[in-house]
Amino acid sequence: MKIKLFLLAFLAFGTYSVNAQNKLCSEIYAANLFNVYVFSEQTGHDLTTLMGEQVNPALVNIIYIKTTEQKAEVDKNCKMGKMEGSVLIFPDADPSKTRRFCTATDYVMAIRSEGDMNIQPSVK
């Protein structure tokens, strides 16, 4: 019986993790200024495309993560719980494949279940 309960809890938790990366972060956008970490060598993304919805640019502090060293530092800080309140975005040339993590916890769960994610390379 304990095993069945554990499996149900694990499945529910795993489903939450997958859904968390596909949702928009509207409830966070309503808060004060927050940091958005964009894992991309490219800069100048359209804010609406990047966020998946219209956002007041005055509420957003965009920080581009361009190197593996920067990403390693962000990953470490997320795992230590130092980045709650941040949104982490892995953009894709196809906006429907852009991955958004509304909390550092969502991001850490995705790393644990799927492995490392890559920084978007620059267009040459």
Q: What is the pLDDT of residue 30?
A: 56
Beta-ladder partners of 87? 36
- Give the closest residue to 83 by CA, choosing from 64, 108, 120: 108
Greater confidence (68 vs 23) lies with 68
pLDDT-derived band at 3, boundaries 50, 70, 90: low
Place of tokens 């005055």: 58
pLDDT of 57 strictly over 90: no
* pLDDT tens-digit readout, 62-84: 999 999 999 999 999 999 999 98
Q: List the domain boundaries for the chain.
A: 2-114
pLDDT of 97 strictly over 60: yes
Euclidean distance between CA atoms 76 and 70, whole angstroms: 10
pLDDT-derived band at 13, boundaries 50, 70, 90: very low
Query: Is the whole-model pTM more than 0.85?
Result: no
* pLDDT tens-digit readout, 28-43: 655 555 789 999 999 8
Could you tell me whether strands 99-101 and 60-65 are parallel, antiparallel, or unpaired per DSSP bridges? unpaired
- Give the closest residue to 115 by CA, choosing from 75, 80, 77: 75
